[in-house]
Amino acid sequence: MLTQEIINLGEPYFQSENCLIYNLDCLESMLKMPSECINLTVTSPPYNIGKEYENILPLSDYLKWCEKWIQQIYKLTVNDGSFWLNLGYLSIPNSAKAIPISYLLWDKIPFYLIQEIVWNYGAGVAAKNFFSPRNEKFLWYVKNQENYTFNLDEIRDKNVKYPNQKKNGKIKVNPLGKNPTDVWQIPKVTSGKDRSSQERTSHPAQFPLTVIDRIIKASSHPNDLILDPFLGSGTTAIAALNLNRKFIGFEIRQDYCDLAVNRINNFCQNETIKKSQLSLF
């Protein structure tokens, strides 16, 4: 049971056995939380590019704000914990049409960077004066470079081209599959008539569940506590609960909290139905 007392933030917007959602500013909230209580954080912050949930800040203020909430995530993370940060691009007048936000934050992050994952997706805007953008990055950080979780066998890619290839008479390929590499080709959550993803909500920047599922399997264990400080439509919550992890999330907008809570309630109802069907056999 995940209790509010441990988290120290008062009444949540939503609570279930393994999940706490707060309709609060994440920075103010994380400042009040105890150190070293989170195993894994997976998140995507606002990119300061004018989405419906953003007030554009001067670049230096935006970067200072990012530094502050990242420092709080560092404080909250247990010694063998991880931080997965999804970042895209922003433009800087007279300097860059689309600079990776990770370049701007590079020296402001106290974690140890293990790897940058390229998330390559098929659909997107068709550019005319430059290459059509088809990627974002997931940066995988850990607190302790000597001691962190990587459950490779949980996330192996079953799609092996030559499964029976042998070396010295022995099958060479791991029967569980191959390492999925640092380039992940996973479709974006799409909208639009006849092409809308099944998991689509009305949130304008929704993560695909498949990506978050892989991250949580790789970087945490059952019963671990997962955090998403920029919860949006609640994708990280659904993936965490589905993998028997505990979850805490912050979202500043009440309408997005409602989206997330609806998704979580639907997920819990489906789980109850599945369990009752299984108990019939």
Residues forming contacts to ligand SAM in the complex (CB under 6 A) are: 25-27, 44, 46, 53, 203, 205-207, 230, 232-233, 235, 250-253, 256
Residue 279: CB minimum distance to ligand SAM, A: 32
Residue 188: CB minimum distance to ligand SAM, A: 11
Cβ closest to ligand SAM, residue 203 vs residue 214: 203
| Lookup: tokens for 228 | 């998403």
Cβ closest to ligand SAM, residue 203 vs residue 246: 203
Cβ closest to ligand SAM, residue 88 vs residue 163: 88
Residue 253: CB minimum distance to ligand SAM, A: 4
Q: Which residue is nearest to ligand SAM (CB)?
A: 232
Residue 73: CB minimum distance to ligand SAM, A: 12
Cβ closest to ligand SAM, residue 29 vs residue 162: 29
Residue 150: CB minimum distance to ligand SAM, A: 23
DSSP string, the chain: ---HHHHT--S-SEEETTEEEE-S-HHHHHHHSPSS-EEEEEE----SS--TT-----HHHHHHHHHHHHHHHHHHEEEEEEEEEEE-EEEETTTEEEEEHHHHHGGG--SEEEEEEEEE-S-----SSSPPP-EEEEEEEES-TTS----GGGS-B---S-TT-EETTEE-S-TT-B---SEEE-PPP--STTT--TT--S-TTPPPHHHHHHHHHHH--TT-EEEESS-TT-HHHHHHHHTT-EEEEE-S-HHHHHHHHHHHHHHHHHHHHHHHHHTT-
Residue 18: CB minimum distance to ligand SAM, A: 19
Cβ closest to ligand SAM, residue 109 vs residue 257: 257
Cβ closest to ligand SAM, residue 41 vs residue 235: 235
CA atoms within 13 A on the CB side of 279: 6
